[in-house]
Amino acid sequence: MKNSTKVILLIAGVLLLDQIVKIWVKTHMEYGDEIFIFGMSWARIHFVENNGMAFGLSLGGEYGKLALSLFRVLAVGFLGYYIYHLIQNKASFGLLTCFALILAGALGNILDSAFYGLIFSESPYHGGLATLFPPEGGYSSFLHGKVVDMLYFPMVDGTFPDWLPIWGGEHFLFFRPVFNFADTAITVGVLSLIFFHRGFFSGQTKDPETTTGEEPEALQPTDPDPPSNLEEETSASPLAEDSAPGEK
């Protein structure tokens, strides 16, 4: 299977998983509801929405939301072109995988921002389920939809000791942000590039014929050592020409 086909399948798979989970959460859970994963209190499906970037970060106001959506569209266009460039230059599949994950994650969140406001009704806090394709129309306009988040892992929940400066006695929670599968794909892709970039790019070396456009020179066979002067004189001497037995 060609690397280009693998990249397309990877992007499509991540995008499909991300959107299936988001649509299910949006239509089967009320805003603020949560479900323990396999009964574990530190791993939950917790439905929230945000207007901004990964892990609930956001830019303020309507224009901030629009600017972020447009930036995502431009970033996706650049990533798509760069992945095409990498495929044309025979980049390693590991490197392609990293950028494919980042592209798939960015696409997943763009779909939320671009279309969820058009095709879903509002999700009020503990106020009922959202409707897909409501008769009265969606809750927002194009590129102003909210990103659906649901993965929540509050693994450490406690209080800072009183003797600790500044934060002493305050509540502590790790990991606080709520995110989605698109955010996960972006994070995995970026971290893989950071930690394994040397291995990915070290395989990009090419042979001389590919890099210079010229065939490498063939190795010339080495001549045997020329006879020494002593050997030449000996072979030319009359004494070296012994006559056959019986001849004088």
Peptide bond into 175 cis (omega under 30): yes
Please name the residues in contact with 121: beta carbons below 8 A apart, sequence gap of 6 or more: 130, 131, 134, 136, 138, 139
Annotated catalytic residue 157: no
The CA-based angle 240-243-245, given to 5 degrees, is: 135
Annotated catalytic residue 242: no
Q: Considering the candidates 18, 112, 162, 183, report the single residue annotated as catalytic.
A: 183
- What's the CA gap between 34 and 40, in Å, rounded? 12
Q: Considering the candidates 149, 162, 207, 242, report the single residue annotated as catalytic.
A: 149
Q: Pick from 114, 107, 120, 115: which is nearest to 182 by CA? A: 107
Number of alpha carbons in the 13 Å side-chain half-sphere of residue 25:
27
Three-class DSSP category at 179: strand
H-type alpha helices, the chain:
3-28, 61-88, 93-111, 117-119, 181-202, 208-212, 229-236
- At which residue do the structure tokens 């042979």 appear? 207
Catalytic residues: 149, 183
